[in-house]
Structure 1
Amino acid sequence: MTTNTSHPSLDVDLPTDSVASPWIFSLAAVGAVWYIILWALSILGCQTGRRRYRNRPRSPLASAASFSVPGVSVLRPLKGLDTNLYENLESTFTQEYPSFEVLLSVADERDQALPIVRELMSKYPHVDAKIIVGEEHVGENPKVNNLIRPYRQAKNDILWVIDSNIMSTPGTMARAVDALQGHDRAGRKIGVVHHIPFAYAPESRIGSRIDEAFLNTNHAKMYLAINAVAIDSCVVGKSNMYRRSDVERVNGSRKPLEQQGSVDTPRGLQAFGKYMAEDNMLASAIWHELGMRHDLSCDVARNVVGKMTFMDYVHRRVRWIRVRKHMVLLATVLEPFTECILVSAIGAWAFHWLFNFSIPIFLLLHYALWIYVDLDVYNSLAGHPLPESLRWEFMLGWAAREILTLPIFFYAVFGNEVQWRGTRYEMLWNGEVKLANQGSTAKRWWHWIRQPPKGYEAVNGSAPP
């Protein structure tokens, strides 16, 4: 008599495990590697902030003779009464630099910023300052249109373009000129000096606190890390310094000059009026077309955040994401996978599967260390620890920002329209921008659906609502 010793259940289970395990192992390994890479970038950004911003020496150019330093033309495009406008503009008049001029431009002679400008010019008569009224239309970007005239009328080759909501310390200009005259580690000439935004919210508004927490922690950390790695251009245009002679050579194609041939395309600042993010496109053109590099000085662009509501913050983040989507699609798609909550989920699952690490303990360590690094970045940029009076508001803003990241991203990534200073624009795939049709997308679709078919004649002359 023969005994059957086979185990049918094993015959079924083993093939399933042998197929599934390699796939799960591969996904877990990729997740663990990605988690380690993100932490490496976070630590790099943190260390870069410590090294660069916790020691801000005085530049020798600040006390040099005027004939021995390159002149600087400060271009400040203005529109309306931004928060803290008087103090923002005054910080330009009080720069410790022996040779500079200030060009303040407005599109309309009735602009509300003009009385403040005239008051500052009376207060600092020794500063070479000039008001320029009237824009020149070279594209849909109103900032570029406002800058064209001062750009052409500037006396000096070095231009420092600063947004109206930015305040700078007295030594910023001298240190930026120092950096602009330098070279990178490979000996390549510096073509752009930019300043990392540091948000300051003088009033407790929910949108302001969320934006403050975002700019001063995660955004700053990744901005510093990407610029430290320096594999490509990454510039925010709140406060940038460059040479007009360099700008006049680029056209925004981002192809090296020797590969452009004899194509007759506009060059100079006017070539960037068709882009929404003209700051990043200009910096990228200097990087790729001229082979120059960028540098961060040891100063921040102190961005004074006004009375920002919750929806103001949402609209601002939506605008940033949609603009970036049309400029750097891959980086935008990967952006959610660099955020705290999603990264924690990836890391917890990967390390649990690979090493049987406790998920609750992993998440507790992750969030504690992530917050520690973010606050350390804040300390470096601010020059002091987070004040106790703001601690709870700031941390609530930080938590709200992290929770809102994915919902805002998914809402933003599936649209192409942005709103900037009351005007609605449509983003194009090459980074250019055009004026959008009036009304929201939903309203335009509803209007289109409600349109009568061709040849329709309304009864009694009435029209559909």
Structure 2
Amino acid sequence: MAPTLYLYALAIPIAVFWCGKWVVHLIALIYGKVKLHKKVVQYPVEVPYPGVSILKPLTGVDPHLFGNLESFFTMSYPLYELLFCIEDDGDNSIMLVRCLQEKYPNVDSRIFIGGERVGVNPKINNMQPGYRAAKHELIMISDSGIRMKEDTLRDMVHHLKDDVGLVHQMPFSSDREGFAGTLEKIYFGTVQARIYLAADFFGVNCHTGMSTIMRKALLDEVGGIKAFGCYLAEDYFIAQSMKDRNWKISISSQPAWQNSGICDVNSFQARLTRWAQLRVAMLPRMIIFEPLSECMVIGGFASWAVSFLFNWDPLVVYLVHILSWFLCDWILLSIIQNGSVSFGKFDFVVGWLFREFSGPYLFVRALMESKIQWRTRTYHLKWGGLAEELKPKVKV
């Protein structure tokens, strides 16, 4: 009798969690259809647009950088400034920025070189001089790999309602050739999008700071961006500080179009591994819940659970589970893309299977790594998200 009770105590929570995952699927599909790709609303003539100071931290040059940066010079927004923050005075991106400044002399833009060390986070250190010089009431932080549409900034500002302190774009990917481009679009259009949309629906902090706009006064209340220099995942803690002060965070209707010139499977998987390391350090409960959220993992557990509870055929349940998950992801990707994707259904099947089977492996690899690599620097993560940089040993 006792072993049977233990099995019921295990099977019922698994079945409930499995049902909860399907609720998340449903919410993501409906909320994504309602929330995303809405026509940008123009402010009335008598209502002035607030000024926006855009921080652009740059490190190095890739084949798409010039076009990405140029998209910020051509935005249809009446009042903004571009603050390019470059750590190294020998960085080739300085030449690209100056070329664009000559091409668009009417756009307010400045370059800040050298950064300022205020913590372990290199991105915060790089942006600090630009932040101090910002003159507008809104601050936007935008990574170098982001490409903007003409009306994207207006869309983000429109979502900054009176009770909203921060608006961010849901990460997505531009159309790019090759398997790596397909894999990246599948990840951001399914796994990431599902969690992002459900989190925004429930008001949960799932902020990824690659393209975000916020009220500068709220940052200044806690000491500015340098107050978050002790974290590598500064984006999460910035958003959490606003939620802790009863400000809402929201996604805009336009996804962030990532358009980095570097697109290969190894670098993308290294990026996902690094993100998993950060999530586990900030939220240790993810050690249990994140693997269980994977399609193949939860499908296996759920097949056993419903087989035990209802005497259903576990193989049939597992196959139906995978097929249903697959179809939901295809529909969600089409919603995020707002039309047809740039690859065929066979490519989606291959990319989707690769992502689903590699996801648990990358998470385990993240747990096995005690250090986190960020460009040329190495860090040690502590529980709670604090980080310390590991300096290379000098041979004597």
Same fold? TM cut 0.5: yes
User: How far apart are the structure 1 equivalents of 2:73 and 2:344?
Assistant: 30
User: What whole-Å deviation, never above 9, does each CA across 1:338-367 have from its counterpart, x for those lacking one?
Assistant: 110011112211111111222232222212
User: How far apart are the structure 1 equivalents of 2:284 and 2:172?
Assistant: 26
User: How far apart are the structure 1 equivalents of 2:338 and 2:269?
Assistant: 28
Alignment of 1:29-428 (within 5 A): 29-53=12-36, 55-61=37-43, 64=45, 68-182=48-162, 189-200=163-174, 202-206=176-180, 208-230=181-203, 232-250=204-222, 267-288=223-244, 290-387=245-342, 389-428=343-382
Which structure is larger by alpha-carbon Rg, 1 or 2? 1
User: What whole-Å deviation, never above 9, does each CA across 1:396-430 have from its counterpart, x for those lacking one?
Assistant: 22211111122221221133211111211111223
Q: Which residue of 1 aligns with 2:8?
A: 25
Report the 3-state secondary structure (helix = DSSP H, G, I; strand = E; otherwise coil) of the residue aligned with 2:221.
coil
State, as a whole percentage, how many aligned pairs show the same letter. 29
User: What whole-Å deviation, never above 9, does each CA across 1:246-285 have from its counterpart, x for those lacking one?
Assistant: 00112xxxxxxxxxxxxxxxx2211111110111111111
User: How far apart are the structure 2 equivalents of 1:368 and 1:108?
Assistant: 50
User: What whole-Å deviation, never above 9, does each CA across 1:275-319 have from its counterpart, x for those lacking one?
Assistant: 10111111111111x221101110111112444433323322221
Q: Which residue of 2 aligns with 1:256?
A: none
Segment of structure 1 superposing worse, 18-27 or 340-349: 18-27
- One-letter amino acid of the counterpart of residue 248, structure 2: R
Are 1:138 and 1:270, in contact at CA under 8 Å, matched by a contact in 2?
Answer: yes
Mark the CA change 1:64 to 1:78 in structure 2 (over 3 Å): closer, same or farther.
Answer: farther
User: What whole-Å deviation, never above 9, does each CA across 1:131-169 have from its counterpart, x for those lacking one?
Assistant: 222201101111101111111111101011100001121
User: What whole-Å deviation, never above 9, does each CA across 1:200-224 have from its counterpart, x for those lacking one?
Assistant: 3523144x43333212211111111
User: What whole-Å deviation, never above 9, does each CA across 1:225-247 have from its counterpart, x for those lacking one?
Assistant: 012111x3220011010011100
User: How far apart are the structure 2 equivalents of 1:204 and 1:305?
Assistant: 14
Segment of structure 1 superposing worse, 85-94 or 293-302: 85-94
Mark the CA change 1:332 to 1:50 in structure 2 (over 3 Å): closer, same or farther.
Answer: farther
Report the 3-state secondary structure (helix = DSSP H, G, I; strand = E; otherwise coil) of the residue aligned with 2:326.
helix
User: How far apart are the structure 2 equivalents of 1:149 and 1:57?
Assistant: 35
Q: Which residue of 2 aligns with 1:434?
A: 388
Equivalenced residue count is 394
Q: Give the TM-score taking structure 1 as reference length.
A: 0.81
Mark the CA change 1:49 to 1:171 in structure 2 (over 3 Å): closer, same or farther.
Answer: same
Mark the CA change 1:301 to 1:286 in structure 2 (over 3 Å): closer, same or farther.
Answer: same
Structure 1 spans left out of the alignment, 5+ residues:
1-17, 183-188, 251-266, 440-465
Report the 3-state secondary structure (helix = DSSP H, G, I; strand = E; otherwise coil) of the residue aligned with 1:101.
strand
Mark the CA change 1:377 to 1:367 in structure 2 (over 3 Å): closer, same or farther.
Answer: same
Are 1:235 and 1:280, in contact at CA under 8 Å, matched by a contact in 2?
Answer: yes
List 4+ stretches of structure 1 deviating above 6 A.
Answer: none
Are 2:52 and 2:140, in contact at CA under 8 Å, matched by a contact in 1?
Answer: yes
Are 2:372 and 2:378, in contact at CA under 8 Å, matched by a contact in 1?
Answer: yes
Mark the CA change 1:83 to 1:392 in structure 2 (over 3 Å): closer, same or farther.
Answer: farther
Report the 3-state secondary structure (helix = DSSP H, G, I; strand = E; otherwise coil) of the residue aligned with 1:104.
strand
- One-letter amino acid of the counterpart of residue 22, structure 2: W
Mark the CA change 1:173 to 1:88 in structure 2 (over 3 Å): closer, same or farther.
Answer: same
User: How far apart are the structure 1 equivalents of 2:354 and 2:72?
Assistant: 34
User: How far apart are the structure 2 equivalents of 1:82 and 1:129?
Assistant: 21
- One-letter amino acid of the counterpart of residue 118, structure 1: R
Q: Give the TM-score taking structure 2 as reference length.
A: 0.94
Are 1:205 and 1:308, in contact at CA under 8 Å, matched by a contact in 2?
Answer: no
Report the 3-state secondary structure (helix = DSSP H, G, I; strand = E; otherwise coil) of the residue aligned with 1:226.
helix
User: How far apart are the structure 1 equivalents of 2:391 and 2:127?
Assistant: 26
Superposition deviation, residue 40 in structure 1: 0.5
User: How far apart are the structure 2 equivalents of 1:420 and 1:83?
Assistant: 21
Q: Which residue of 2 aligns with 1:259?
A: none
Superposition deviation, residue 21 in structure 1: 2.1
